[in-house]
Structure 1
Amino acid sequence: MAFPKDIGVIDTMLGIPSSEDRADWYSWFAPLLRDEESRQMFKMPAQYMFKGVPKVDQCDDYIAWTVEQMDRFNIDKALVGFHEESPTAIAAKERFPDRFFFDVPADPNKGMEEVRRLKRLHRDFGIKAVSVFPCGTFPQVAIDHKYMFPIYAACVEMDIPILINVGVPGPRMPMAPQKVELLDEICWFFPDLKVVMRHGAEPWDALAVKLMLKWPNLYYSTSAFAPKHYPKSIINFANTRGADKIIYAGYFPMGLSLDRIFSDLENVPFKDEVWPKFLRDNARRVFKLD
């Protein structure tokens, strides 16, 4: 059950800093934040949930700096959000194609315009996934809303996973769009769609386990949780029937440091045979990294 240090880790949620103000990363859902503390005080709208949000010092080459941090912790590859207008994302793909792979955050409110954009980025840049934050779209779009269906269909056609935030969101906004039960109909209607749950699924993590048992293409990633806070239901599922379903994801540098994550991982009670699947093999298979 000891944490293995000889596995090249695949991190399915990591960010590359830039010289821009980090608060700009969250401006797209700023209209949903109504309390003054969220709108004025936080560098990230869920900062109240995290102790010691990493401070990234200014440097001349954030991409190389990020690769250095990955090397320190034996992170072989990392999934990073791709924005076509971002020179950082383009440069990271060009300079380190073997270290980074990319998901595209999608806005289902844009309809077929968004579907065409996703397909173009998949064709031109080889994106490996689409991501959606249902509570953070503006206006909010629930997991099972009709606006989501064109996005799901496009992911099936491109044969790439969709990453969906589930559970009570950290930012102070209504939670209803991310109720885990809403995935049941989606998995039923789109049996070929690979869905990876992000951000914990709490307080419905036990239901998430039930749904993963039910639906072959439903998975869970550990994003935005320090390993000491992984839900017990998820650890137990990984150690029993769900070893092929649980995928490692960090949250660096958005909310957690790599030092914190990897020191906590040493105390997670996964079985020996679970670790390679959790840290590498499941991500390799689901995101088709071979």
Structure 2
Amino acid sequence: MFTLPRGVVDAWINPNIFPPDPAKDVGYLFPGLAERLTRGTSLEQLVDEMDAAGVAKGILCSGYSGDGDREWNTAARDKFPDRFALSHVVDPREGIKSVRLVEDLARDGHVLIRVLGLQTRLYYNDAALYPIYAKCIELGLPVGLNVGFPGPQVPSKYQDPLPIDDVAEFFPELRIVLQHGGEPWVDTCIKLMVKWPNISYMTSAIAPKHLPQQVIHYANTRGTDRVMWASDYPLLTHERCLREARDLPFRSQEHFDKFVAHNAQHFFFGS
């Protein structure tokens, strides 16, 4: 069992604000989620849970959780600036409004722009997304793209990672992180990372004990700097994720440290 390093980063935490009946949509995948949502989690409770599990910093996500989630996240970041950074889900179907939103998010210190195929029902190489990609390059922001079958019972085809091959070619400067694991297209995700140096991988919404073995192998070999942990809290708890992560077959403590801390720290903050 590995030891948790200092500076553990959770690359995806949701605020205590959700759309109607989220447990109904994805509760079949996450035991205990309904109870966690019914209980609710205050900002102070979230910080306490992070402390108890050994999480130093979290990337809060707004734009999909519900009304007021951006304000909740900004208040959390302002109160605990050493503990939280911000990301936001942008909807490219809103055209120039979405591009101007990216500019506003950059001014507010957001460190990641996320786009969800399950929401937009657009492939990632759709022309509607290209202005967002260009603006992110201009502003130095990475883009997080959900890949793989989504938990909500909506069509999965829009989260096929293969269209990202076109994006990486057209925007070689764009930093991309593949979110939510990519199943059943995990091998495609890994091939994309092997091919394109600016693509990384985030394990959000996947319990570590269920991580595909191809991902662990990649993180132990040529992808040691490209795979980062995320919980998608409250879908998964920090305690469970890090307890299971310590038992994963990483090659060394150094490889484990990169997975739970150093890779996200470098990706989001450059250090």
Tell me whether the two structures share a fold, i.e. TM-score over 0.5: yes
Q: Is 1:133 matched up with 2:116?
A: yes
2:246 aligns with one of 246, 266, 281: 266
Q: Measured at CA, do residues 158 and 286 of structure 1 come closer, stay the same or move farther in structure 2, by a change above 3 Å?
A: same
- TM-score (normalizing by structure 2): 0.92
- Code of the residue aligned with 2:27 in structure 1: it is Q
In 2, distance between residues paired with 1:94 and 1:103? 14
1:185 aligns with one of 160, 166, 170: 166
Superposed counterparts of 1:139-158, under 5 Å:
140-158=121-139
Counterpart residue number, 2:105: 121
- Code of the residue aligned with 2:76 in structure 1: it is A
Rg (Cα) greater in structure: 1
Mean CA deviation greater in 62-71 or 48-57: 48-57
Percent identity of equivalent pairs: 34
Q: How far off is 1:154 after superposition?
A: 1.0
Q: Measured at CA, do residues 172 and 56 of structure 1 come closer, stay the same or move farther in structure 2, by a change above 3 Å?
A: closer
- TM-score (normalizing by structure 1): 0.86
The answer as to whether partners of 2:148 and 2:159 remain within 8 angstroms in 1 is yes
Q: Is 1:82 matched up with 2:85?
A: no
- Code of the residue aligned with 1:14 in structure 2: it is I
In 2, distance between residues paired with 1:271 and 1:135? 34
1:55 aligns with one of 36, 61, 78: 36
User: CA offsets per residue over residues 141-182 of structure 1, 9 Å max, x none?
Assistant: 111101010111111111111011001111111111111111
1:46 aligns with one of 14, 26, 37: 26
User: CA offsets per residue over residues 124-150 of structure 1, 9 Å max, x none?
Assistant: x1110100111222xx21111010101
Q: How far off is 1:46 after superposition?
A: 1.8
Counterpart residue number, 1:17: 16
Superposed counterparts of 1:1-290, under 5 Å:
2-18=1-17, 22-24=18-20, 43-53=23-33, 55-56=36-37, 62-82=42-62, 85-86=68-69, 87-123=71-107, 125-137=108-120, 140-253=121-234, 255-272=235-252, 273-288=254-269, 290=271
Q: How far off is 1:44 after superposition?
A: 4.5
In 1, distance between residues paired with 2:38 and 2:3? 30
Q: How far off is 1:252 after superposition?
A: 1.4
CA RMSD in angstroms comes to 1.9
In 1, distance between residues paired with 2:137 and 2:199? 14
Q: Which runs of 5+ in 1 are unaligned?
A: 25-40
